[in-house]
């Protein structure tokens, strides 16, 4: 009686996998490999970030302490210095020009832990394939293409280092296949021993008298029903999480709901209406579109690495549960 | 529609203006034309937001002055100030209609994108065509707190590690520089 149980177990697990063509399967494997490589490997190098507005060089170092702990440091090399330090799940941004420190807590339930359940979602919305090889920053890499199946999301193109899977280049495209933004290493060293110096902040000591914004830190990140629902769903986008949290610079807790298709994510923030901001606005920062819309006495802000229409549609189909009932 | 264009350019005399304004109130086609001309003008000047603010300001003024909506019909020698007010009132009524019409598709926006959503492979066009109703402006770091909060949940951030945070710190500095 053991054998049928095993077979049954297999048949339950199999469909999601078997439904994907081999090509797509390989792409998924590489996507997963990229996600874990960027967390588990030691690497240090320089990359260039390009958006429609600018090109900027930065230096990044990521080290994992074998005794425990993940450390990452990002600093800009052009223009006024800025630094982002990550120590496990805490992110600190140092902005020396304005003498400001922003401290944020990251969600400890991060990838790749979240990834497997989302992988099926990714292939629902994108055609994934591994294309030929390329060379980035003197490293051989495989090109992984994610082509959206509709125009609710952007296209992506990664180049994953042939040995480790570390993403050396990431590009996104809009629906007209025009480039939106790209990250590409220009120089990188992969491997090596844990080096605390490489991930230490240059500003931590100097920032004692800087303005510190910690309001984002005591995060009440317990999943909670915020009372807001989507009245029409967007294909491929599933609710990832929903909770009330504190946000730097906001006095009252803000409802935060995240929708994702496995690769692109759209966050919706709902706060009590601030004074004198009751208009719809659409703005963008790199590939991120940001849309605000007043709903009754609330301000709804939706943002994410998705086309403006997608971000707007999510914000526009959001309603307060009670309001829906009374309106009809 | 020549008259409307002339009205916009201030080429009509008081009497003609009043006629055209009355027509704008009653004739939806003329209103659409008026609105379109303004949108074209605004777009050419890159002043998309201005027409919205203008119509809002006018709407506020209108709310404070309810009586001017129905100015006395025939008064032979009307003082210029009254005339101006009536014109402003008519304009604001039009602007209000224009504003409502203009913001209409933005609010629920169920048509184009959901059609595309239901049948993505067949109808690949409309989603993109829908949003430019609202011109997108660079955010200039105004949403950084939200961006940072968002990034921890973004799968692309998970794949690329800390690198996408560069968006946030870039935006911060650009914003500071331009303020």
CATH of the domain at A310: 3.30.200.100
Average pLDDT over residues A194-199: 91
Q: Which chain B residue lies closest to A182 (C-alpha atoms)?
A: B164
A158 with A208, same domain: the answer is yes
A135 with A205, same domain: the answer is yes
CATH of the domain at A135: 2.50.20.10
Looking at per-residue confidence, does B158 or A183 come out higher? A183
Taking CA atoms, A46 is separated from A49, A53, A188, in Å, by 10, 20, 6
Q: Which pLDDT score, from 0 to 100, does residue A12 have?
A: 41
Q: Which pLDDT score, from 0 to 100, does residue A292 have?
A: 93
A3 assigned to some structural domain: no
What confidence category does residue A104 fall into, taking pLDDT thresholds of 50, 70 and 90? confident
Average pLDDT over residues B48-64: 50
CA distance A308 to A315: 11
Q: Which residues of chain A neighbour B171 with C-beta distances below 8 Å?
A: 285-286
A84 close to B173: Cβ distance less than 8 angstroms: no
Write out the two tokens for B16: 């003609």
What confidence category does residue B125 fall into, taking pLDDT thresholds of 50, 70 and 90? very low
Q: Which residues of chain A neighbour B166 with C-beta distances below 8 Å?
A: 49, 56, 58, 74, 76, 84, 183
Residues 120-139, chain B, touching A (beta carbon < 8 A): 120-121, 124-125, 127-128, 130-132, 134-139
A67 with A120, same domain: the answer is yes
Write out the two tokens for B99: 């504003």
A266 HSE (CA, 13 A, CB side): 33
The C-alpha of A4 sits at a distance from chain B's nearest C-alpha, in angstroms, of 37
Q: Does the structure show a pLDDT above 70 at B23?
A: yes
A289 with A185, same domain: the answer is no
A1 assigned to some structural domain: no
A269 assigned to some structural domain: yes
Nearest Cβ partner for A79 among B106, B145, B173: B173
A150 with A261, same domain: the answer is no
Write out the two tokens for A311: 């971000």
Domain that holds residue A51: 8-212
Which of B56, B150, B157 to probe by mutation at the A interface, max A CB count within 10 Å?
B150
- Sequence-distant (≥ 6) Cβ neighbours of residue A208 within 8 angstroms: none
What confidence category does residue A203 fall into, taking pLDDT thresholds of 50, 70 and 90? very high
The C-alpha of A310 sits at a distance from chain B's nearest C-alpha, in angstroms, of 8
Which residue has tokens 């490997």?
A41
CB contact under 8 A, B131 and A312: yes
Domain endpoint, select from A158, A185, A212: A212
* Residue B57 near chain A (CB below 8 Å): no
A183 with A168, same domain: the answer is yes
Write out the two tokens for A228: 């807001």
A246 with A190, same domain: the answer is no
A289 with A208, same domain: the answer is no
CB contact under 8 A, A91 and B155: no
Q: Which residues of chain A neighbour B149 with C-beta distances below 8 Å?
A: 104, 216, 245, 247, 256, 267, 269
The number of folded domains in chain A is 2
Closest-CA residue to A268 (of A216, A222, A320): A320
CA distance A206 to A46: 24
A36 with A185, same domain: the answer is yes
Interface predicted TM-score (ipTM) of this complex, two decimals: 0.79
A311 with A269, same domain: the answer is yes
What confidence category does residue B38 fall into, taking pLDDT thresholds of 50, 70 and 90? low
Closest-CA residue to A118 (of A216, A259, A1): A259
Which of B139, B161, B171 to probe by mutation at the A interface, max A CB count within 10 Å?
B161
A152 with A232, same domain: the answer is no
Q: Which pLDDT score, from 0 to 100, does residue B44 have?
A: 54
CA distance B133 to B121: 24
Q: Does the structure show a pLDDT above 70 at B123?
A: no
Highest mean pLDDT among A230-244, A245-259, A303-317, B126-140: A303-317
Looking at per-residue confidence, does A249 or A125 come out higher? A125
A147 close to A158: Cβ distance less than 8 angstroms: no
**For the segment A118-173, what is each residue's pLDDT rounded down to a tens digit?**
566 788 899 999 999 999 999 999 999 999 999 999 999 999 999 999 999 999 99
Nearest Cβ partner for A288 among B140, B167, B169: B167
Domain endpoint, select from A184, A212, A240: A212
Nearest Cβ partner for A307 among B128, B135, B154: B128
**For the segment A4-56, what is each residue's pLDDT rounded down to a tens digit?**
444 444 444 444 444 556 777 888 889 888 888 888 899 999 999 998 878 88
A328 assigned to some structural domain: no
Burial of B161 (0-12, 13-18, 19+ CB in 10 A): buried
Burial of B122 (0-12, 13-18, 19+ CB in 10 A): exposed
């Amino acid at each position: 009686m053991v054998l049928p149980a095993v077979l049954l177990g297999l048949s339950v697990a199999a469909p999601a996998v078997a439904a994907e063509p081999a090509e797509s399967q390989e792409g998924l494997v590489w996507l997963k490999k990229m996600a874990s490589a960027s967390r588990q490997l030691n690497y240090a190098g320089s990359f260039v970030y390009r958006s429609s507005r600018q090109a900027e060089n930065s230096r990044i170092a990521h080290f994992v302490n074998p005794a425990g702990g993940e450390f990452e440091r990002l600093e800009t090399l052009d223009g006024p210095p800025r630094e982002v330090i990550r120590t496990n799940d805490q992110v600190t941004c140092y902005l020396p020009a304005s003498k400001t420190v922003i401290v944020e807590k990251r969600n400890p339930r991060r990838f790749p832990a979240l990834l497997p359940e989302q992988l099926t979602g990714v292939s629902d919305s994108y055609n994934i394939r591994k294309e030929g090889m390329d060379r980035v920053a003197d490293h051989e890499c495989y090109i992984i293409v994610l082509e959206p199946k509709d125009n609710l999301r952007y296209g992506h193109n990664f180049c994953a280092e042939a040995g480790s899977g570390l993403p050396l280049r990431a590009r996104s495209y809009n629906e007209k296949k025009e480039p939106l933004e790209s990250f590409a290493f220009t120089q990188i060293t992969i491997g090596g021993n844990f080096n605390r110096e490489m991930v230490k902040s240059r500003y931590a000591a100097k920032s004692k008298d800087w303005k510190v914004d910690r309001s984002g830190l005591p995060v009440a990140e317990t999943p909670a029903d915020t009372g807001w629902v989507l009245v029409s769903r967007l294909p491929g986008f599933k609710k990832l999480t929903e909770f009330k949290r504190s946000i730097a610079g906001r006095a009252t807790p803000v409802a935060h709901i995240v929708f994702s298709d496995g690769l692109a994510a759209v966050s919706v923030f709902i706060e009590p209406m601030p004074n004198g901001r009751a208009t719809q606005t659409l703005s963008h920062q790199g590939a991120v579109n940001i849309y605000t819309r007043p709903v009754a006495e609330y301000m709804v802000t939706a943002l994410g690495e998705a086309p403006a229409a997608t971000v707007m549609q999510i914000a526009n189909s959001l309603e307060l549960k009670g309001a829906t009932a009374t309106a009809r | 529609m020549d008259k409307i264009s002339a009205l916009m350019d201030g080429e009509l005399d008081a009497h003609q203006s009043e006629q055209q304004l009355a027509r704008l109130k009653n004739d939806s086609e003329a209103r659409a034309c008026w609105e379109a001309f303004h949108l074209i003008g605004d777009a050419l000047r890159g002043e998309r937001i201005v027409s919205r603010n203008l119509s809002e300001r006018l709407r506020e003024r209108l709310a404070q002055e309810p009586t001017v909506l129905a100015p006395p019909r025939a008064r032979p020698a009307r003082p210029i100030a009254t005339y101006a007010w009536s014109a402003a009132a008519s304009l604001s009524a039009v602007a209000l209609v224009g504003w409502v019409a203009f913001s209409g598709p933005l609010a629920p926006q169920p048509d184009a994108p959901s059609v595309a959503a239901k049948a993505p492979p067949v109808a690949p066009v409309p989603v993109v065509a829908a949003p430019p109703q609202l011109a997108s402006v660079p955010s200039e770091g105004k949403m950084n707190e939200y961006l940072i909060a968002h990034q921890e949940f973004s799968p692309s951030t998970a794949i690329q590690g800390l690198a996408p945070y560069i968006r946030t710190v870039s935006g911060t500095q650009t914003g500071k520089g331009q303020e």
